[in-house]
Amino acid sequence: MKLKRQFPWAINRIWFADDCFTLNRHSLIEVCDEIIKRKLRIGWECLSRVDTLDSETAAKMKKAGCIRMFFGIESGNDSILKIMNKQITTKQAQIATRICKKIGIKAGAFFILGYPGENAQTILNTVKFASSLPLDYLSFTLPYPIPGTPLFERLNGRLFSDEWEEPKNIQMVKHKLLFDSQVSELKIKFAILKGMLQFYVRKYSGERGDRVIGRPIELVTDKIYEKIT
């Protein structure tokens, strides 16, 4: 593997845009070893799958300068993960994010709410699961059926719009629902706001603060969520 000895400009952060940088463990370790060998003082981030990470690999990545990993977990319900054909489990997601926490690598995760086949309970499962993980970054979105993807094919003929609208005033809700769903768009968007609120309370208030503040908030928003049609 060949890397330039010097960068022609000042760089302090690298983003590896590979969809799954950790998939080939041998190549990943090669990159880490070369960075360590050349004493490159630079932080980097990457995308990963939860089923490709172990403690030994994470420790090597940390030593080589990895500061954050992002995981496309997508659901906190194993039955929905099977529908999505993610080929991962919620248990693997818990293990991977805990490894990051223990090693000292920040972890981020992406989740989708309202995927075809979901109901109110599976969405709530995802919100509770996602906000319970030891994450530094969390994102919820509605399903967006891009032409050519399995989701688009699954919804063929059921789309009532092909326009993606990103609200200018609600940054946590990325776009509108483009197909008829078992769960209303309002209910899904409330679930997103609920999940982000629970996440931030747990992130910034710690375990004790979460027990005192976070748990009551979760119970109240659970009740509101149940009432929304």
User: Considering only CA atoms, which of 31, 67, 30, 73 is closest in space to residue 48?
Assistant: 73
- Give residue limits of the domains in the chain: 18-227
Tokens of 25: 């463990």
Highest averaged pLDDT of the listed ranges 2-6, 7-11, 42-46, 140-144: 42-46
The pTM of the full predicted model, rounded to 2 decimals, is: 0.88
Q: 108: closest CA among 68, 140, 51, 55?
A: 68
The strands making up 66-74's β-sheet, listed across from edge to edge, are 13-16, 43-48, 66-74, 106-112, 137-141
How confident is the model over 79-105, as pLDDT tens digits? Answer: 999 999 999 999 999 999 999 999 999
Three-state SS at 179: strand
Model pLDDT, residue 147: 81
Report, at the CATH architecture level, how domain 18-227 is classified.
Answer: 2-Layer Sandwich (3.30)
Mean per-residue pLDDT of the chain: 89
Q: Which amino acid makes up residue 63?
A: K
191 HSE (CA, 13 A, CB side): 30
Residue 154's contacts (CB-CB under 8 Å, 6 or more residues apart) are 116, 145
pLDDT tens for 169-213 read: 444 455 678 888 889 999 999 999 999 999 999 999 988 888 889
Residue 115 tokens, joined: 């995927």
Predicted pLDDT at 169: 44
